[in-house]
Amino acid sequence: MTLDDAVIARHTVKAFEGGKTLPQEQIETLLNVLQNSPSSVNSQPWHFVVASTAEGRAAIAKSTTGAFIYNEPKVLNASHVIALCMRTDLDDQHLQKVLAQESADGRFVAEGAQAGQDKSRRSYVDMHRYESRDIPQWMEKQVYLALGGLLLGAAMLGIDATPMEGFDQRALDLSLGLREKGFTSVVLVSLGYRSEGDFNAALPKSRLPREEIFTFI
């Protein structure tokens, strides 16, 4: 499948066929996509909870009740559901961990490169903490970068997917014990096989024309 084919074929699945499981090698590819997602100054302010069992999906489905009950079947009938989460803060411990990993991976060749990277990254964190005062929003943007890569990766593999913001964030955080670990949920993605009830599969894709969304200079 070409990239052009994938972006045209991709759509938000409205119903999954329960009881079918995606091949593990495909899941591993998508986990690789998430692990290697880009983030501003390589801050990596995320955590991903992967539910591959009925018990795991049920834990996530606790957040799709009440006003969000329409999303419950998309969680329970999927093969896998991934909760994309962000850190509650970019603290010193996390920044040190990222820097140590970069060093272990051999990214600092030139003299002073490690100190320079640390200073540069901390300057951005401080800018968003003190001047912009938007650390949560900044971290959330990085999670959505990962979401885009995940959806495109799924499309390239021919995997049906549904991104969902329609869930009770507090209920999910409590169900998964996220806040005790320093994380909070941002968005869900269900992955699996669409069922005959997926009416969206038969509908044409609709986007604004190029002349409306592009300016060439």
Q: Which amino acid is present at 58?
A: A
Does the active-site annotation cover 165?
yes
Strand partners, 46: 86
Q: Which among 94, 97, 86, 57 has a CA at the least distance from the CA of 74? A: 57
Q: Dig out the tokens for 190 from the structure.
A: 């269900």
Query: Contact 182/210 with Cβ under 8 angstroms?
Result: no
Out of 28, 165, 181, 205, pick the active-site residue. 165
For residue 122, CA distances in Å to 126, 137, 144 come to 6, 17, 21
Strand partners, 188: 83, 164
Out of 14, 17, 62, 141, pick the active-site residue. 14
Q: How far apart are CA 129 and CA 117, in angstroms?
A: 18
Q: Which among 214, 175, 197 has a CA at the least distance from the CA of 51? A: 175
Query: Can you state the angle between helices 113-126 and 92-104, rounded to 10 degrees?
Result: 150
Active site residues: 14, 74, 165
